[in-house]
Structure 1
Amino acid sequence: MARSVEFNEEQAIQKAMEVFWEKGYNGASLRDLTDAMKINSSSLYNTIGDKQELFVRCVKHYTNIRKKDLQNRLDSDRSPFSILVNYINDAVSVIINGDNSCMAVKSAFEVATNDQRVKDILKADSDYAYQFLYSLIKDAMDQGEISTDEDPELLADYFISTWTGWYESYILHKDGNKIKKMAQFFIKQISK
């Protein structure tokens, strides 16, 4: 009689996500993943599927965590501009102090160019981040915290692309001061 597979799938996905985040899709072996998840490969295939399916679930899990973080920020009592500044400073902190960079950025370059499902997940994540930034910027304009001469759509797009560039810059130069200065410059540019 076959043994039933019992494990906490959400915890297993979290552990696998951490492996993919550290090693990337191509660098993570099936053995790395199953060891981290504390299951054998047949359990993986029987419950989740193959490595690709596991990766898709991990990317969804990662983007759901990010979505919850953004929602929590919006639910705070702070002004839109202070939420935005806090988000920018937290992004800088993650870039400089994080062990593994941004899983979404890594996945976009490593996998999304060839995998439509991953691309769609990451696009939805980017669209959600754009809406988050756009609404903060627009609300900050309405409250007089950012000049109404600015275009909130352009600022949201600019920040998303700039943020990705900060990751690349830090990976290449390992200069935290440089990232902090760029962030402060961006904040100064949008401050009224």
Structure 2
Amino acid sequence: MPRQKEFDYEEKLKCARNLFWDKGYKATSMNELVDALEINRSSLYHTYGNKHELFLKSLDRYIQKKEEEYRKAAKKSKDPMKAVENVVQSVLKSVLEDEKTCLVVNSTFELARTDKAVKQRLTRQTVSSVKLFQELLEMAKENGELKTDRESGVLAHFIVMNITSIWATHILFGDEQLTTQMTDFLLETIKG
């Protein structure tokens, strides 16, 4: 009879994600993961795979959570431009309140150039975010709320790429007012 797991899979995955998030993928050792998850090495390998597989699983869960947050923020308003603003403002809230930088942002700069599996996930997440914004912008154009000749897809990419710049502004300058002003400027630019 196989032995039952004596730990919560998702809880341990969250512990691993937090360690990768704190230290970065490359600086996190298997010994640190074993210690943080408080399970033996063979259980870790059997349940989650190697370090890379564990990181990918952690990143997948994080991306899923972020996508849910974006959709939830967008659904707070039936007005498409307000929905766009809600999503961008939810990012600003995270930037100002979270002690850690977005794991997607961190992973993009640490791994996307060198790790094909990570790049695929991050690209897929970016495309999903772009699609959300593009749909909202197209609805705003249709109802006359957004008056611009710019393609909705280009504007959507512009928003998503500038979300990273909101994080960068706060990381580099630690200035809440400047970070908020940059977010407001982004929203004003979109509305044009």
TM-score for the superposition, normalised by structure 2: 0.89
Q: Map 1:55-134; keep pairs closer than 5 Å.
A: 55-134=55-134
**In the aligned structure 2, how far is the partner of 1:168 from the partner of 1:188?**
19
Q: Percent identity?
A: 28
Greater mean alpha carbon deviation, residues 50-59 or residues 70-79: 70-79
**In the alignment, which residue of structure 2 is the partner of 1:11?**
11
Aligned: 1:160 with 2:170: no
Answer whether contact 1:16 1:33 (CA < 8 A) is retained: yes
Answer whether contact 2:73 2:90 (CA < 8 A) is retained: no
* CA deviation vs aligned residue, 1:77-129 (integer Å, no higher than 9, x gap): 53111111111111112112211111011111112221111111111000000
Answer whether contact 2:170 2:176 (CA < 8 A) is retained: yes
**In the alignment, which residue of structure 2 is the partner of 1:191?**
191
**In the aligned structure 2, how far is the partner of 1:190 from the partner of 1:179?**
17
Relative to structure 1, the CA distance from residue 129 to residue 30 in structure 2 (aligned partners, 3 Å threshold; closer, same or farther) is same
Relative to structure 1, the CA distance from residue 174 to residue 136 in structure 2 (aligned partners, 3 Å threshold; closer, same or farther) is same
Answer whether contact 2:74 2:84 (CA < 8 A) is retained: no
- Segments of structure 2 that go 5 or more residues without pairing to the other structure are none
**In the aligned structure 2, how far is the partner of 1:75 from the partner of 1:160?**
18
**In the alignment, which residue of structure 1 is the partner of 2:176?**
176
Greater mean alpha carbon deviation, residues 55-64 or residues 135-144: 135-144
* CA deviation vs aligned residue, 1:141-167 (integer Å, no higher than 9, x gap): 212221143321111111111111222
**In the aligned structure 2, how far is the partner of 1:77 from the partner of 1:95?**
22
**In the aligned structure 2, how far is the partner of 1:190 from the partner of 1:49?**
43
